[in-house]
Structure 1
């Protein structure tokens, strides 16, 4: 069925037509929400809520933007309502997570169990850089985080981000500049992969735990980020990280389950989750809503 016909049917209240249109960007939407919320169950719930809210309001869609942008706007507002009740993450959230895992045998064992039994339990440095990017983006104010992720990871044009955030182009560009500067500064201080004075070396440490037979230095040197660290400036290193993150699916990568359980540990350590073991097991990929 032609896209225009589907749009017309959806606007007329045909849920099957809307479902077909929604399916085209459902997974990017869900992965976007996961990057904002860092919780699979919350991402599942808000993806479902977005579908319901968007279909309920489909008669108000005036085609001033793409349907995808309009739906992402609804999802973003739902995520904002969820996140405004929570504190921004501290810069050392990953350190706190690592200390909790080191000091809690049951949590450390759960990492090993996921790594050895889950088809998505592999460890890869590139995926951990993606994990690190998400953690650091959580230190930003919500609007900065949204603008950054939409532009640098999901390739939304600034004009569409303006519609999603209901901000002027000048404000969105300011949000982006501030977000990139903050991200760049934190990475520059923390990342031991590219800075010998960096205080975080989780990539190599975790690689050594989960891939003990692999040469860690060989793994490091496969990364363009590491190879370019001596010749690129800090802004260019941020751009390398963003390109790497853009290429990774946080929900369906080879190490998605392992990274998710490490994320749960981090959230527990900073008080975002009351009890590590209260959270449900990693969810399976959901079918097209509803």
Structure 2
């Protein structure tokens, strides 16, 4: 069945917000999101005759998006495990960046649940690109394994293996680094940021209210991971109350990736 221009516009608009958030979580740059979204629209419109309705329009559209994003990343390095730490150190070593991040912070209402989404986005960028796409499609955008296989042009077995290894990596990072879950965790950024403008008692109250934190003593790594993805599933990063802050931090993390900065023992609240 041939799709009319009006039907194409309707189907594209139905998927546009999820498509944009998907692109943003991959490229973490708003200008790239707009450029890629426009490119995807044009490519989809020009190739609408190839849509056979054997799959959903959403799956077909995300396949176009994934292929364009692969081309976009051909000359770019993935983030290193210490990318977020490099971001923190780069800010602490530059007074102008300290002023900028605090200015952005106080223009937004900081919510820890949105910061968990930001953190998940950062950790995913350690993964090889196809594994990054696969885990997002499965765990955040509710695609089935056969749909992911179609998008990535992989076998079902290959996709299952990609998801298994990707989830294992993600759970290991959170298990080792996240102070929301373990007192010995190395990453304390959500607490550090929340302390800015709030008392430590208020910060701890907000953290303790999270279902993820309530369950940490009884739940295993898989359950905690699933609780994270369930929380993230309901968040559009481009519309969140912390968007400006997280967009700034993501751009600074990308800039700081792979570089080395001297350690500075300063919390955000002291900047």
Q: How high is the TM-score relative to the length of structure 1?
A: 0.86
Change (3 A) 1:256 1:248: same
How far the C-alpha of 1:209 sits from its partner, in A, is 1.4
What secondary structure, in the 3-state scheme, does the structure 1 residue paired with 2:196 have? Answer: helix
How far the C-alpha of 1:20 sits from its partner, in A, is 1.7
1:123 aligns with: 110
How far the C-alpha of 1:267 sits from its partner, in A, is 1.2
- TM alignment of 1:116-155, pairs within 5 A: 116-117=106-107, 121-155=108-142
Q: Is the 8 A contact 1:76 1:164 kept in 2?
A: yes
How far the C-alpha of 1:132 sits from its partner, in A, is 0.7
**In 2, distance between residues paired with 1:152 and 1:162?**
14
Q: Is the 8 A contact 2:79 2:258 kept in 1?
A: no
Structure 1, unmatched stretches of 5+, are 1-6, 273-290
Match among 19, 24, 29 for residue 29 of structure 1? 19
How far the C-alpha of 1:105 sits from its partner, in A, is 1.5
Q: Is the 8 A contact 2:125 2:132 kept in 1?
A: yes
Q: Is the 8 A contact 1:129 1:241 kept in 2?
A: yes
Match among 103, 108, 122 for residue 113 of structure 1? 103
Report the aligned-residue RMSD: 1.5
**In 2, distance between residues paired with 1:181 and 1:262?**
26
How far the C-alpha of 1:214 sits from its partner, in A, is 6.3
- The answer to whether 1:102 aligns with 2:92 is yes
Q: Is the 8 A contact 1:123 1:211 kept in 2?
A: no
**In 2, distance between residues paired with 1:255 and 1:222?**
19
1:78 aligns with: 68
How far the C-alpha of 1:123 sits from its partner, in A, is 1.2
User: Comparing both chains, which one has the higher relative contact order based on Cα–Cα distances under 8 Å and sequence gaps of 6 or more?
Assistant: 2
What secondary structure, in the 3-state scheme, does the structure 2 residue paired with 1:33 have? Answer: helix
2:158 aligns with: 171
2:35 aligns with: 45
Match among 252, 261, 264 for residue 265 of structure 1? 252
How far the C-alpha of 1:84 sits from its partner, in A, is 2.6
**In 2, distance between residues paired with 1:50 and 1:192?**
39
**In 1, distance between residues paired with 2:199 and 2:244?**
19
How far the C-alpha of 1:116 sits from its partner, in A, is 3.1
- The answer to whether 1:234 aligns with 2:224 is no
How many matched pairs? Answer: 259
- Which stretch has the larger CA shift, 123-132 or 172-181? 123-132
**In 2, distance between residues paired with 1:232 and 1:176?**
21
